[in-house]
Amino acid sequence: MEKSWDEQYKNMWDERYKDEHYVYGTAPNVFFKEWLLKFTQGSILMPADGEGRNGVFAATMGWEVTSFDLSTEGKTKALQLAKEHHVIMKYLVGDLEQLEFEIASFDAIGLIYAHFAANKKSAIHKRLNSYLKPGGVVIFEAFSKEHLHLKKINPKVGGPNEVDMLFSKAEMIADFEDYDILFLEEQEIFLDAGKYHQGKGSVIRFVGRKRLCSFNK
């Protein structure tokens, strides 16, 4: 019986994270680190946290971290990394569509290379929005739609192959419409994160604060 796209995607990440090394490294994403340090510690949700480099960093900075990912292999390595850094994080395994969190229960959300299926990504962003407190912040970095030509030149830079899984500034404005934009740019940057993110890539970087009078459900 042919596996669904979701099953294939989960299996891909489990296979990748079985590697004995941390395939995206153990240092936090540079943009995430820079912006997280600007905010007062609280509770943070880390979707698609993989091997935990960003969630563990947040925990070392005093944040109460809830991470999740499709991959059980990712969870194992994330908890090991947390142990090495003498911090505690909550890590759930599953699809966001099956996971439930309390409405308006997090002070921040970190979305770092959290690429979802093209037909789900906007709905997932809207759902995540409901879990964020008014006044809470989203810190986001992921590949832009201009990234594909750079990946063709250098496959080692990584990223999805489907343009609809990539992001644009317009999509960010639409998905997070009830936010004050603190930062939004499309940039070409040099990635040096493990063996799967090496080289020049095109990314969308976004930081937004959820308005106190947000009407999104």
pLDDT digits (tens, 9 = 90+) for 68-103: 999 999 999 999 999 999 999 999 998 877 788 999
pLDDT value of residue 97: 77
SS3 65: strand
The H or E element spanning position 182 is strand 179-193
215 belongs to a structural domain: no
Residue 196's closest CA among 17, 65, 59, 47? Answer: 17
217 belongs to a structural domain: no
Domain of residue 9, CATH code: 3.40.50.150
**What is the average pLDDT score of the chain?**
92
CA distance 89 to 64: 7
Nearest 5°: phi and psi at 110? -105, 115
Q: Tell me the average pLDDT across 201-209.
A: 98
Residue 21 gets which letter from DSSP?
S
CB atoms under 10 Å from CB of 23, counted, come to 20
CA distance 24 to 198: 9
pLDDT value of residue 216: 45
- The residue whose two tokens read 């969308």 is 204
pLDDT digits (tens, 9 = 90+) for 16-66: 888 888 989 999 999 999 999 999 999 999 999 999 999 999 999 999 999
The three-point CA angle 24-27-30 to 5° equals 95
71 belongs to a structural domain: yes
216 belongs to a structural domain: no
pLDDT digits (tens, 9 = 90+) for 116-136: 888 889 999 999 999 999 999
CA distance 215 to 213: 6
Q: Which of 16-20, 113-117, 145-149 bottoms out in mean pLDDT, i.e. has the lowest? A: 16-20
The three-point CA angle 206-211-213 to 5° equals 160
Range of the domain at 181: 5-210
Residues 6+ apart with CB under 8 A from 78: 49, 50, 51, 52, 55, 56, 67, 69, 89, 91
CA distance 192 to 179: 30
pLDDT value of residue 4: 59
Residue 47's closest CA among 113, 2, 145? Answer: 113
% pLDDT > 70, the chain? 95
% pLDDT > 90, the chain? 79
CA distance 9 to 13: 7
pLDDT value of residue 1: 45
The number of distinct structural domains making up the chain is 1
Residue 205 near residue 31 (C-beta atoms within 8 A) = yes
